[in-house]
Structure 1
Amino acid sequence: MQKITIVICNYNHGRFLADAIDSSLSQDYPETGVLVIDDGSTDGSREIVESYAGRIRALYKENGGQVSAYNDAVNMIDTEFVILLDSDDLLYKGAVSEVMQAFEAGDSVKVQFRLDVVDSAGKPSGKYVPHSVAPVDCGRLLRRGWLYPSPPASGNAYRTSALKKIFPVPEASSNRYGADFYAIYGVALLGAIAMIPKSLGAYRVHRTENTGIDFANSDSIDKAPRALTKRWSILRQLARSRLGIELPPSFHDFSLEKAYFCSAVYRASFAKRWRWVSRQSHGYLRSIVANPFWSYKKKIGMLALSSLCLLPYSPLSDFAVRYISNPLARRRL
């Protein structure tokens, strides 16, 4: 039986950390180890980790950001398989067993699975991520610049040997976060991706009461485009220097184009909405019409929904924008 490590990267999430550790220790796959990387927490997280002495491994480091924590984690992992679990998320009891079955069924470099979206108290929202199924050969489309549908960090399991070809990632003040971006998309350049079409864990969202256009725990609507563009640039450099793969200068991603679209038309005047669509909507429309991961039905539905954002009746238009941008607001709207 092959071994797997669940790595929990934590920074000041002490109020959730015990749940993440307990969910990892309760896995029904016998050869499961747990490693906690504490990135200089100041909220008492260290005491929580120390209470599990003898049951888990731990590294206490100075605060350096998520990229730094991932670099240390990948360097420390001594098993061929790993799940990188965020400290405010958790895994269901049979998650590791299902992941290992998927790895054993083929030569995948990554196995991904859905995550149920819960609020800060752990209450289910009725939503899950991701909504689309990624093809096995994500790398082929990635080489053309298409970011494939993936769950957040905690919904991914990797072959460590593949991760070690991507990490360490350069650490800089402008690149402290988003380490899962490099793992999720970098590894896809190295082999097949397997998808388990069921929820095997929970993704905790801390802003479920916000009914605006921001979504979950992601970067702000203004910051997200800049952050993703920076990460793509770094991934291109890593792919070129370490893998001999040349990625295109720009990438295609509905989430990013959605951020541009929603920030431009939300609560904007009727004239401003149409001006943006007539002059700047090419990328947004391309991310829908040419999206290789969506069915025709989904594309038509999204185009129809987007058209509602351009109606002169602003309450309905803004409703449509919120519906597109923030899935967590849908059950209330």
Structure 2
Amino acid sequence: MKGMTIVICNYNYEQFLAEAIDSALAQDYINTRVVVIDDGSVDSSRAIMEGYGTRIKSIFKDNGGQVSAYNLGLESVKTDYVLFLDSDDVLYPGAVTEVMLRFERSDVAKVQFRLDVIDELSRCTGVYVPHSGIDGDCRKLLLDGWLYPSPPASGNAYCVSALKKIFPVPETGMNRYGADFYAIYGAALVGAVSNIPRSLGGYRVAHGNAQGVSFANSDQTDKAPKAFTSRWVTLREIALRRLGTQLPPNFHDFAHEKAYFWSSVYQAPLSTRWHWLLRDSHAYLHTIVANPFWSLKKKIGTLMLSSLCLVPYSPIANYAIRYICNPLARHRAD
């Protein structure tokens, strides 16, 4: 029986760490190992990890960021497959079993599954990510610059041999975080992707982030677009050097563009919103109109909602922007 290692990367998440570890240990797939990497936490994480004794493999390191934790985690894995679980997220019972069935049925580099968005008390919000999925070879899409629909870190499991063609990722001052970006899109350059269209885990969004533009706990709204651009540059370098694959200079991704959209027009004066439309909206509109993953109905609906940002009555405009950018923020009062 092939094995799965769940690697939990933790930094100062004592509030949620035990729940993440418990969800990993509760998996019914017999050959499942649990490794917890603490990235220099200064809270009570160490004591929590030590309380599990030999039920988990604990690794303690100096703080170096998520990229360094992924690099070390992949180096420590002895199984054929790995799942990187964020320490504030959870896996549902049976998740690993379903994932392993997919790996056994087909030769893929990555299996992905939906995640329910949960709050600080682990209650489901009624929202899940991603809203669409894709099966098969995503390499051609990446070569055309399109980032395919994928869940956040905890919703992905990988063939270790595929990831080792991408990792280790350079650990630089500007590249401490976003390790899941390299895993998600790097793995798809190596092999096919299999999508499980139902939720097998929970993705936690803190209250403060629930009001923001995206579900990315690791990136602030104003930093996320620049971070994605920097990561794409690094992925291009890795793909060329290790795979002999030439990725285009720029990428297309609606999640990325809506962060710019949000920061440019949300709660902005009407003149600023019109300026965005006339001068800065090309990339945003392109990721809607040319999006290879969306139906015509979704494209038209998103364009119509986007046009409401030009309504002079700001409550309507801001509601439309929130509706597009983050379902959890739709009911926020202005």
User: Normalising by the residue count of structure 2, what TM-score does the alignment of the two structures yield?
Assistant: 0.97
SS in 2 for 1:166: coil
Alignment of 1:144-163 (within 5 A): 144-163=144-163
Q: Which deviations, in whole Å up to 9, do the C-alpha atoms of 1:167-210 show, x marking residues without a partner?
A: 10000111110000000000000111000000000001113675
Per the alignment, do residues 217 and 6 of structure 1 end up closer, same or farther by CA in structure 2, a change over 3 Å counting? same
Tell me the residue number matched to 1:119: 119
Tell me the residue number matched to 1:211: 211
Contact in 2 for aligned 1:10/1:39 (Cα 8 Å): yes
SS in 2 for 1:189: helix
In 1, the alpha carbon distance for the partners of 2:50 and 2:5 equals: 18
Tell me the residue number matched to 1:285: 285
Per the alignment, do residues 158 and 134 of structure 1 end up closer, same or farther by CA in structure 2, a change over 3 Å counting? same
Is 1:317 the counterpart of 2:317 in the alignment?
yes
Q: Which amino acid aligns with 1:140?
A: K
In 2, the alpha carbon distance for the partners of 1:38 and 1:79 equals: 20
Q: Which deviations, in whole Å up to 9, do the C-alpha atoms of 1:68-96 show, x marking residues without a partner?
A: 00000011100011110001101001100
Once the 2 structures are TM-superposed, how far is the Cα of residue 330 of structure 1 from its aligned partner? 2.7
Is 1:228 the counterpart of 2:251 in the alignment?
no
Alignment of 1:239-250 (within 5 A): 239-250=239-250
Contact in 2 for aligned 1:206/1:216 (Cα 8 Å): no
Contact in 2 for aligned 1:207/1:216 (Cα 8 Å): no
SS in 2 for 1:114: strand
Once the 2 structures are TM-superposed, how far is the Cα of residue 131 of structure 1 from its aligned partner? 0.5
SS in 2 for 1:272: helix
Is 1:38 the counterpart of 2:41 in the alignment?
no
Q: Which deviations, in whole Å up to 9, do the C-alpha atoms of 1:87-144 show, x marking residues without a partner?
A: 1101001100000001111001000000000011111100000001124111110111
Alignment of 1:64-213 (within 5 A): 64-207=64-207, 210-213=210-213
Tell me the residue number matched to 1:18: 18
In 1, the alpha carbon distance for the partners of 2:15 and 2:314 equals: 40
In 1, the alpha carbon distance for the partners of 2:172 and 2:215 equals: 26
Tell me the residue number matched to 1:267: 267
Contact in 1 for aligned 2:212/2:221 (Cα 8 Å): no
Once the 2 structures are TM-superposed, how far is the Cα of residue 332 of structure 1 from its aligned partner? 5.7
Structure 2, unmatched stretches of 5+, are none
SS in 2 for 1:19: helix
In 2, the alpha carbon distance for the partners of 1:218 and 1:303 equals: 28
Contact in 1 for aligned 2:209/2:215 (Cα 8 Å): no
Per the alignment, do residues 322 and 49 of structure 1 end up closer, same or farther by CA in structure 2, a change over 3 Å counting? same
Q: Which amino acid aligns with 2:179?
A: A
SS in 2 for 1:63: coil
Q: Which amino acid aligns with 1:123?
A: R
Q: Which amino acid aligns with 1:251?
A: F
Once the 2 structures are TM-superposed, how far is the Cα of residue 260 of structure 1 from its aligned partner? 1.1
SS in 1 for 2:53: coil
Tell me the residue number matched to 2:8: 8
Once the 2 structures are TM-superposed, how far is the Cα of residue 211 of structure 1 from its aligned partner? 3.4
Contact in 1 for aligned 2:113/2:199 (Cα 8 Å): yes
Which shifted more, 123-132 or 318-327? 318-327
Q: Which deviations, in whole Å up to 9, do the C-alpha atoms of 1:258-277 show, x marking residues without a partner?
A: 11112111112222211110
Contact in 2 for aligned 1:208/1:216 (Cα 8 Å): no
Contact in 1 for aligned 2:146/2:253 (Cα 8 Å): yes
Per the alignment, do residues 87 and 213 of structure 1 end up closer, same or farther by CA in structure 2, a change over 3 Å counting? closer
Q: Which amino acid aligns with 1:282?
A: H
Structure 1, unmatched stretches of 5+, are none
Q: Which amino acid aligns with 1:266?
A: Y
Contact in 1 for aligned 2:319/2:330 (Cα 8 Å): no
In 2, the alpha carbon distance for the partners of 1:173 and 1:90 equals: 29
Q: Percent identity?
A: 63
Per the alignment, do residues 159 and 215 of structure 1 end up closer, same or farther by CA in structure 2, a change over 3 Å counting? closer
After superposing on structure 2, the runs of 4+ consecutive aligned residues of structure 1 that deviate more than 6 Å are none
Q: Which amino acid aligns with 1:16?
A: F
User: Normalising by the residue count of structure 1, what TM-score does the alignment of the two structures yield?
Assistant: 0.97
Contact in 2 for aligned 1:166/1:187 (Cα 8 Å): yes
